[in-house]
Every structure is written in structure tokens, then in C-alpha cells.
């Protein structure tokens, strides 16, 4: 078969999400019918970045549809780190809140690692608290970051075998690259992590039976970097000429990859779905629902 002769499965992240969200809505309904209060996710927004405001709107809508209550604390862009930490502390103490999310990016004056460390680890639905990051490294259960969870969900639902396979992860951020590398390793893949100092990047990518691209550089992965038949998960989001594009040249990958996530409706919906799932799990752990 020629390199462009195969049928590439294009992942429908919305359909996978709809199925999972349906299951979450049933769990919430059963808990509420049994007398529990509904789950509650609190979001802290600092400033009024339009992209963040729109993400939060999407999250609030998604919460509503599965029966999760959402609460929002809006702070001015000029808020100090102490003010953000105080908002997090008040949500930690609030027995009616199950999950806390602080929307990134934060203004320069506020250190994201200080904020992540201030969240009650039991309410850490983003999985970024150092204790939960440590649990991942140690192979212990705990909330995992949402985008890596969504990636694993996509691979599993398409029956992509991981054990013994060569996985290459582009990017080493605390929110995507590092945790997904560890989660693939936990599933017995042989994992290579690449970053801005990696030499011979195209050659590393060509080795990948499973490729996760989480860089944020439009179409940096060319079609001829992709190993024929590879499962390609494109996390990157860039806007070029008003169009959403990923880290992978999607058109060039069609007919070469075995499976690929599209720039829109791929990984994105799963990230929100995993946030909902982490919130429902935190609620069940808290209330026994
Ligand atoms: P990040 O913190 O900016 O990390 C980017 C990573 O890419 C870094 O590790 C960096 O290496 C590496 N990198 C930069 N230039 C590179 C190059 N030329 N070659 C190889 N590696 C390079 O980004 P992030 O938060 O992980 O997000 C990555 C992308 O995913 C962004 O586009 C973001 O918007 C998107 N995203 C999407 C979702 C979703 O749900 N769809 C969720 C989260 C993120 P160094 O460490 O050496 O600097």
C-alpha cells in the first residue's frame, strides 16, 4: 500500500464526549434522587481574557447539561497573588464545593504553581496539585489532568494498543506533555518525550506508532514525518487566517496516519468531559454518591 493509500480514521471527539457525558448525567441524577446535593464546580477567573471567558462559558454550559452546578469567582486583572490565594482558600473551606479550577493563563503577578499548590488536593479537578502530580509519578490513584485523560480515552475507545508500542510525545508541559508521557508509560508504552531542544525531531516523530503533539506551533508536524498507520493525537491549538489549526498538518496526514484527531472537535471536547468526570468523582468521594 502506498503511504497515502490508507483510510485514516478521523476521531469524533464530540460523539465520544456525548456518550461519556450521558453516563455522568445518569450518575448525578441517581445521586440527587437518593437525596444528595448536586455536584458543584467552582471556577476562578482572573481578568477578562476573551479566550478564557469563552472557555469558561463552554464549561458552565457543559456542567449544566450533566447536572453539575457551577460557581464563578471573577477577580480583576490587577488582582494580587494573595487575593487569588484567598479566593482559593475560601473555596477549599466551602463544604458545598467539590471541584476548583483556576482558569489559565494567569496575569504575570500570579504564579500558577503557587495557585495549584493552594487548592485542596481532594478538590483538584485539574490534577495539577504537586501531591496529585506525585501520585501520578508514584503510580497511585488520584485525579489526573484532563487533557491527558481525554487522550487516553480516545486511544482506548479506538482500540489502539499501547503495551510495548513506541509512543512519542511532543511537548513537556506540566498540564499535557509530562502527565500524558507518564500515563502512556503506566500503560507499558515505550515513551520518548521531545521538546524545543530535541535534535532530529522529524526522525524521532517517524518512530512513533502513537504520536501526541502538544506544542502549539501550527502544522509543525509534516505529513512525511508521520509513520504510516500511526495513531496521531493533535492537542495543539493555533489560529491561522482565522482558522483553528493543530500542530500536525491534518490534510497531509490523511491517508498516512491510521487515526487522527481533527483540529476542531477532536481533543478539545474530551478535555471538558474529563473535567466533568473529575468533578463527579470528587463529589462521589466527598458525599458517597
Ligand atoms: P506549553 O506549556 O507552551 O508547552 C509547549 C511545549 O512544546 C514545551 O514543552 C516546549 O518545549 C515544546 N516546544 C516548543 N517549541 C518546540 C519545537 N520547535 N519543537 C519541539 N517542541 C517544542 O504548552 P501546553 O500548555 O502544553 O499546550 C500545548 C498546545 O496544546 C497549545 O497549543 C495549547 O493551546 C494546546 N492545548 C489544547 C488543549 C485542548 O483541550 N485541546 C488543552 C491544553 C493545551 P520546552 O519545554 O523546551 O520549552
Q: pLDDT value at position 289?
A: 66
Going by CA atoms, what residue is nearest to atom 8 of ligand 1?
Answer: 171
Q: Do the domains 35-120 and 145-268 sit in the same CATH topology, yes or no?
A: yes
Q: pLDDT value at position 6?
A: 86
> Average pLDDT for residues 245-270, to the nearest whole number?
98
Going by CA atoms, what residue is nearest to atom 30 of ligand 1?
Answer: 236
Q: Which of 103, 124, 247, 249 is catalytic?
A: 103
**Over the Cα atoms of the chain, what is R_g?**
19
Q: pLDDT value at position 3?
A: 57
| pLDDT tens per residue across span 215-244 | 999 999 999 999 999 999 999 999 999 999
Ligand 1 atom with minimal separation from the 271 CA: 40
Is pLDDT at 122 greater than 90 in this prediction?
Answer: yes
pTM summary value: 0.96
Q: Which residues line ligand 1 (CB under 6 A)?
A: 147, 170-173, 175-177, 194-198, 201, 214-217, 235-237, 267-268, 271
Is pLDDT at 4 greater than 80 in this prediction?
Answer: no
| pLDDT tens per residue across span 60-71 | 999 999 999 999
Q: For residue 69, how far is its CA from the centre of ligand 1 (angstroms)?
A: 31
List all residues 6 or more positions away from 170 whose beta carbon is below 8 Å from its beta carbon. 177, 194, 195, 201, 205, 211, 212, 213, 214, 215, 221, 247
Q: Are 161 and 184 in contact (CB under 8 A)?
A: no
Average pLDDT over all residues of the chain: 96
> In the structure, what pLDDT confidence band is assigned to residue 195 with cuts at 50, 70 and 90?
very high
> Average pLDDT for residues 263-288, to the nearest whole number?
97
Q: Is 200 a catalytic residue?
A: no
> In the structure, what pLDDT confidence band is assigned to residue 77 with cuts at 50, 70 and 90?
very high
Is pLDDT at 287 greater than 70 in this prediction?
Answer: yes
Homologous superfamily, domain 145-268:
NAD(P)-binding Rossmann-like Domain (3.40.50.720)
Q: Is 14 a catalytic residue?
A: no
Q: Is 126 a catalytic residue?
A: yes
Is pLDDT at 265 greater than 80 in this prediction?
Answer: yes
Is pLDDT at 178 greater than 60 in this prediction?
Answer: yes
> In the structure, what pLDDT confidence band is assigned to residue 288 with cuts at 50, 70 and 90?
confident
CATH class of segment(s) 35-120: alpha beta
Domain edges within the chain: 35-120, 145-268
Amino acid at each position: 500500500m502506498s503511504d497515502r493509500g490508507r483510510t485514516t480514521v478521523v476521531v469524533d471527539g464530540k460523539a465520544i464526549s456525548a456518550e461519556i457525558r450521558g453516563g455522568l448525567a445518569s450518575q448525578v441524577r441517581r445521586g440527587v434522587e437518593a437525596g444528595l446535593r448536586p455536584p458543584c464546580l467552582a471556577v476562578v477567573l482572573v481578568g477578562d481574557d476573551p479566550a478564557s471567558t469563552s472557555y469558561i462559558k463552554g464549561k458552565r454550559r457543559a456542567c449544566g447539561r450533566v447536572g453539575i452546578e457551577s460557581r464563578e469567582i471573577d477577580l480583576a486583572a490587577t488582582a494580587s497573588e494573595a487575593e487569588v490565594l484567598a479566593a482559593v482558600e475560601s473555596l477549599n473551606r466551602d463544604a458545598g464545593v467539590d471541584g476548583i479550577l483556576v482558569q489559565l493563563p494567569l496575569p504575570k503577578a500570579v504564579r500558577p504553581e503557587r495557585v495549584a499548590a493552594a487548592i485542596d488536593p481532594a478538590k483538584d479537578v485539574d490534577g495539577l496539585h504537586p501531591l496529585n502530580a506525585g501520585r501520578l509519578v508514584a503510580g497511585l490513584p488520584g485525579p489526573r489532568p484532563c487533557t491527558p485523560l481525554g487522550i487516553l480515552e480516545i486511544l482506548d475507545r479506538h482500540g489502539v494498543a499501547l503495551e510495548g508500542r513506541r509512543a512519542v510525545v511532543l511537548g513537556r508541559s506540566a498540564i499535557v506533555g509530562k502527565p500524558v508521557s507518564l500515563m502512556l508509560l503506566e500503560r507499558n508504552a515505550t515513551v520518548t518525550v521531545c521538546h524545543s531542544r530535541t535534535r532530529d525531531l522529524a526522525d524521532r516523530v517517524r518512530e512513533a506508532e502513537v504520536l501526541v503533539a502538544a506544542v502549539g506551533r501550527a502544522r509543525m508536524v509534516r505529513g512525511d514525518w508521520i509513520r504510516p498507520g500511526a495513531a496521531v493525537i493533535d492537542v495543539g491549538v493555533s489560529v491561522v487566517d482565522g482558522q483553528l489549526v493543530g500542530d500536525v498538518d491534518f490534510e497531509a496526514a490523511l491517508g498516512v496516519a491510521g487515526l487522527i484527531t481533527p483540529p476542531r472537535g477532536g481533543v478539545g471536547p474530551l478535555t471538558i468531559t474529563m473535567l466533568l468526570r473529575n468533578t463527579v468523582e470528587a463529589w462521589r468521594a466527598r458525599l458517597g454518591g
